[in-house]
Amino acid sequence: MNKTNGSGAPRSGRHFLQVPGPTNVPDQILGAMAQPTIDHRGPTFAALTLEIIPKLRRVFNTNDAVMIYPGSATGGWEASFTNTLSAGDKILMFDSGVFALNWKISAERFGLDIDFVPCDWRQGVDSNVIEDQLKNDAAHSIKAVMVVHNETSSGITNSIAAVREAMNSAGHPALLFVDAVSSAGSIEYLQDDWGVDVTIAGSQKGLMLPPGLSFNVISERAIAASQSSQLPKSYWSWEDLLPSNETGFFPYTPASNLFFGLREALSMLEAEGWPNIYARHARLAEATRRAVAAWGLENYCAMPEKSSNTVTAVLVPEDQSADALRAAILQRYDMSLGAGLGVLADKVFRIGHLGSFNELMLAGTLSGVEMGLDAAGIPHATGGVTAALDYLKAS
């Protein structure tokens, strides 16, 4: 695609895509997808699927079945409740950010009875509230608890281990659903250890692929619940899709070329090693937070222990425009930053630091932000880039 600098002159260099997803797709994965289409009913495709499934299980640290859909993670949300619930069923959700809100809106459209618990968006989900809510539900009318693991709009990572502990302490049999869209492949995720029943994820963030694949990782309890679910389902039916884990074939046309890319992505992740991946994301996230602090700006997440390792949401001063800053950075330096969403529109900008990302890419990103703060006239201290580099060198 031809790029111009706003005056019509062509730009040189590559665009910096530093939104928290979709993320940069490595050339290696682009090359893997650039293959002729193959017969999705033939043995070569079945072998490809059966190679991918166990690798995907390692992303989530699970032995559970993995449903792969041609569609975005929003479809994965829909699949999560249409396969397990019935109209009028009560579910517990949390107003912890824009994506939690969107998930709730999707559930409303299927006639579910939602207890939408208020949260401080700067602090995320409080597991003590979950325990109290479930202990007060003596009749066990709540059928599912739904939590966003890493809320991309606020830059907060909620503890799913704490959620599971709260559910166990309450002695409640509700299913546990987790949105892991912006954590899978970047932040350690323990489906089996945390007792998660349905995990929803997508291809376009930590897995380094273009948008187009969504996943449900489903426990035996979730499969059992699907036997009595009365919500309408067709495209998203687990019953139709479950055999793919054994046969490698799908009940409809899969996104076959994305499968080639997914195999390559999973091979790249395994070659780096999962502990190294989690450490890399944590290190680059901490460098980002140090830059923000050095600029004299605020990390929107008010609880340091919950700061996301995939995205940092940065508050601008009340009399300043985050969107004007983003526009200045895009126009001058050809870098895209994430917008503030919902009630945070024009109040924060978001720096994505996930997927195929390293120290030099972060240094360039933070340099663009620091120059952009000058260009947009936003009051700040200098030295954010230096603070980040000092941390990276020392660590």
* Residue 29: exposure state from Cβ atoms within 10 A (0-12, 13-18, ≥19): buried
Among 270, 305, 322, the domain boundary falls at 270
pLDDT in tens, 217-231: 999 999 999 999 999
**Same domain, yes or no, for 257 and 318?**
no
Residue 6 has pLDDT above 70, yes or no: no
Measure the CA–CA gap between 66 and 277, rounded to whole angstroms: 22
pLDDT in tens, 259-294: 999 999 999 999 999 999 999 999 999 999 999 999
Q: Is residue 12 part of a domain?
A: no
**Same domain, yes or no, for 258 and 308?**
no
**Distance between terminal CA atoms of the chain?**
38
The HSE-up count of residue 315 (CA atoms within 13 Å, CB side) is 15
Q: Is residue 6 part of a domain?
A: no
For residue 300, the enclosing domain spans: 274-394
Q: Is residue 379 part of a domain?
A: yes
pLDDT in tens, 38-78: 999 999 999 999 999 999 999 999 999 999 999 999 999 99
Count other Cβ atoms within 10 Å, centred on residue 272.
11
**Same domain, yes or no, for 82 and 228?**
yes
**Same domain, yes or no, for 255 and 303?**
no
Q: Is residue 294 part of a domain?
A: yes
pLDDT in tens, 302-313: 999 999 999 999
Q: Residue 161's domain is classified under what CATH number?
A: 3.40.640.10
* Mean pLDDT (the chain, rounded): 96
Measure the CA–CA gap between 1 and 266, rounded to whole angstroms: 28
pLDDT in tens, 293-302: 999 999 999 9
- 29 vs 4, which has greater pLDDT? 29
Q: Is residue 14 part of a domain?
A: no
- How many domains are there within the chain? 2
Q: Is residue 85 part of a domain?
A: yes
Among 214, 242, 270, the domain boundary falls at 270
- 30's CB contacts (< 8 A; 6+ apart) are 261
Phi-psi region of 140 (alpha: psi -120 to 50; beta: other; left: phi over 0): left
Q: Residue 10: which pLDDT band, with cuts at 50, 70 and 90?
A: confident
